[in-house]
Amino acid sequence: MKYFEPDSAKTQLGLAYGPSALTYLENHPEGLDYIEVPFEQLRHTPEVASMQKLIPMILHCASVSVAGTVSPTPATLQAIAQAAEHMRTPWIGEHLAFVSAEPLDRGDKDAAPTSLTYTMCPQLSEAAVDQVVRNLAVARTYLGSTPLLLENSPQYFAIPGSTMPMSEFIAAVMAQCDANLLLDLSHFLITCINTGVNPRDEIHKIPLHRVVEIHMSGVSQQSGIAWDDHAAPAPPIVFELLEQVLAKVRPQALTVEYNWSATFPQPILHQHLQRVRTLLEAA
Amino acid sequence: MNLHRLHAVLAAGVEQPQLLEQWDRQPGLLSQLGVDPSGLDLAALRKFAGLTVKVRHNPLREQMPLSFRLMSIASIEIDMFADYAMFRSKRQLRYATSAAARAGDLLDFLADWIDPAKREQLLLWDVIRYEDAIARLGPWLEQTPEAVDNSVTACPRLRGTVLLHELQSDPRALADMLYTSAPDLSRVPLQPQHLCFWRAPESDQAAVLTLDELGFYLLSMLDGQRSVSALTQCLGGGRDARNAVSRGLRAFSKLGIVILPDRIRRH
Ligand SMILES: [Fe+2]
């Protein structure tokens, strides 16, 4: 088995698990340092774990519902802990978001929580920050010493009851907990576009010294909103933001997330990885 | 605004978009749930539900790369999947587990959703049926391969599996356009196409044949029950019709798509 060895002098480069990543790995076995695999994928198809014979893996996760008001079941948290231990992942990247919420009907004591298939941006408020802190304390009791990184959510519309912008919310969470940051530059850009702020200025409001991992993917603009799009290549501004971030911090890992489409063009994937590598070397 | 109640409302709206329409009609319902209706962008939440359903359909991309690329270039993915999410939510339909069934459900929805007056939607309706047919006769084929049955029967019949689609454009021409640096959908010619997707018993993939109207009609009428005379009657009867049917059937037989009755073979 191959395990991810963090190297403070070097940013390691990986791809998010998906059919296009597997094709790339087959064609360029030396071209990647790791593959980032979602816990939910491992739970669904445990055989994916055997890929670790070829390449180190990092565990990503969307099941802790860190910013949510409904905790995952102990069984889920135990399964995440087990996967992390088995993989010897350097950390678990988890969305600063929620995937489950209380049932709509408050009166129905038997109603099950609503489970989402996709993580959702939480209310950006002091109450949500406190909730994150409480949720992390619970998760910590299961996850042992494996660090958690929190990944900034893309914000698509104004969340009612919010009292602060996303950058301030991230900073507030970072100030109150020991988890570091997984900065998804595309999510960050999407949030800036949808909330009408300049990403080149806003990036400096993010606690960049806490960034341990970076994500990059595509962005599509449709129906008046910018959307996360892992089937599209990252736009030039994401590379520009990456340069700005690298001027301030040396993350340990950078994951390119082009994982939604089995037919993502391999030449573009290769070209973008080369471009990222060049930026990392120049930083 | 209470975090618990807000998250409950957001999550319910995404999972059951029909609630969004109810809340839009009766904002008081939202107030009863503890959320100020004036602060909640229901239209954006509806689009977000579309994003989540779009992501659920990622497994289809492998067999439908052109359809997804077209939707992306035409910027219609979010609106289309938001409408689809609403459609399924109103009918309380769950999403199928297999890619083939999920694609089938999506095509059923699109049959009504597509507005043929909108060029990008017309092209989508063509290309998605094209890719669906190829996948259905290839990786999605459910039936276990049967022994090749070349036996002659009294009526002409199809050999292998055939799907027929009448399209308004040629998805192969669209494919060339989609992979240019600046795709211009207005330059994809609109021209009726009669396509036959055929998987021969000895093959593991579909062949795509472009037919004329007569050939298309003839294949669509072949059910193994209709005799050559009955097929001739379908075309109005008479000598010309009979000759046309015979010529057509022989041509198909030569390609291997049709098994002819002995009587026709001998002629
Ligand atoms: Fe990400």
Question: A164 CB contacts (<8 Å, ≥6 apart)?
Answer: A124, A125, A172
Comparing CA positions, the residue from A79, A81, A24, A90 lying closest to residue A57 is A90
Comparing CA positions, the residue from A55, A92, A65, A72 lying closest to residue A182 is A92
Q: For the CA atoms of B4, B10, B14, B17, what is the dihedral angle to 10 degrees?
A: 120
Does the ipTM surpass 0.95?
yes
Q: What's the token pair of residue A112?
A: 């099950």
* Calpha distance A130→A134 (Å, rounded): 6
Q: Which pLDDT tens digit goes with each residue over A105-149?
A: 887 888 999 999 999 999 999 999 999 999 999 999 999 999 999
Q: Tell whether B221 lies on the interface with A, counting CB pairs under 8 A.
A: no
pLDDT for residue B266 is more than 80 = no
* Calpha distance A273→B177 (Å, rounded): 27
Q: Which residues pair with A95 in a beta bridge?
A: A151
Q: With pLDDT > 90 as the criterion, what percentage of chain A qualifies?
A: 96
Tell me the Ramachandran region of residue A44: left when phi exceeds 0, alpha when psi lies from -120 to 50, beta otherwise: alpha
- Interchain contact, A128 vs B3, CB within 8 Å: yes
Among partner residues B8, B48, B62, which is closest to A156 by beta-carbon distance? B48
User: Which residue of A40, A99, A104 is the best one to mutate when testing the B interface, meaning the one whose CB has the most B CBs within 10 A?
Assistant: A104
Q: Which pLDDT tens digit goes with each residue over A165-187?
A: 999 999 999 999 999 999 999 99
pLDDT for residue B44 is more than 60 = yes
- Interchain contact, B65 vs A261, CB within 8 Å: yes
Structural domains in chain A, sorted by start? 12-282 (3.20.20.150)
pLDDT bin (cut points 50, 70, 90) of residue B144 is low
Residue A278 half-sphere exposure, CB side, CA atoms within 13 Å?
A: 8
- Interchain contact, A157 vs B11, CB within 8 Å: no
In total, the C-beta contacts within 8 angstroms joining chain A to chain B are: 120
Among chain B residues, CA nearest to A119: B52
- Interchain contact, B48 vs A69, CB within 8 Å: no
C-beta separation of B41 from A158 below 8 A = yes
- Interchain contact, A123 vs B1, CB within 8 Å: yes
Q: For the CA atoms of B45, B48, B49, B50, what is the dihedral angle to 10 degrees?
A: 130
Please give the mean pLDDT across all residues of chain B: 93
Q: What is the DSSP string of A183-230?
A: EEHHHHHHHHHHHT--HHHHGGGS-GGGEEEEEE-EEEEETTEEEEET
Any idea which of A152-156, A245-249, B139-143 has the lowest mean pLDDT?
A: B139-143
Q: Quote the pLDDT of residue B263.
A: 64
Sign of CA dihedral A161, A164, A165, A171: negative
* Whole-number Cα distances in Å, A191 to A198, A249, B75: 10, 21, 19
Q: What's the token pair of residue A37?
A: 């695999």
* Whole-number Cα distances in Å, B20 to B33, B100, B130, B255: 13, 29, 34, 54
pLDDT for residue A192 is more than 60 = yes
Tell me the Ramachandran region of residue B14: left when phi exceeds 0, alpha when psi lies from -120 to 50, beta otherwise: alpha
Q: Quote the pLDDT of residue B261.
A: 86
Q: How big is chain B, counted in residues?
A: 267
pLDDT for residue B69 is more than 80 = yes
Among chain A residues, CA nearest to B62: A262
Cα B84 to chain centroid distance, Å, stands at 15
Q: Which pLDDT tens digit goes with each residue over A76-90?
A: 999 999 999 999 999
Structural domains in chain B, sorted by start? 149-267 (3.90.930)
Tell me the Ramachandran region of residue A241: left when phi exceeds 0, alpha when psi lies from -120 to 50, beta otherwise: alpha
- Interchain contact, A232 vs B78, CB within 8 Å: no
- Interchain contact, B77 vs A220, CB within 8 Å: yes
pLDDT bin (cut points 50, 70, 90) of residue B264 is low
Contacts of A221 in chain B (CB under 8 A): 75
Q: Quote the pLDDT of residue A106.
A: 80
pLDDT for residue B38 is more than 70 = yes
Average pLDDT over residues B169-186: 93
Contacts of A127 in chain B (CB under 8 A): 2-3
Q: Quote the pLDDT of residue A107.
A: 78
Q: Quote the pLDDT of residue A65.
A: 97
pLDDT bin (cut points 50, 70, 90) of residue B267 is low
**Is pTM beyond 0.90 here?**
yes
C-beta separation of B242 from B232 below 8 A = yes
Contacts of B77 in chain A (CB under 8 A): 220, 222
Please give the mean pLDDT across all residues of chain A: 96
Average pLDDT over residues A224-253: 97
Q: Which pLDDT tens digit goes with each residue over B75-99?
A: 999 999 999 999 999 999 999 999 9
Contacts of B10 in chain A (CB under 8 A): 101, 120, 159
pLDDT bin (cut points 50, 70, 90) of residue B148 is low
Q: Which residues pair with A36 in a beta bridge?
A: A16, A58
Q: Which pLDDT tens digit goes with each residue over B208-260?
A: 999 999 999 999 999 989 999 999 998 888 999 999 999 999 999 999 999 99
Q: Quote the pLDDT of residue B120.
A: 97
Q: Quote the pLDDT of residue A136.
A: 97
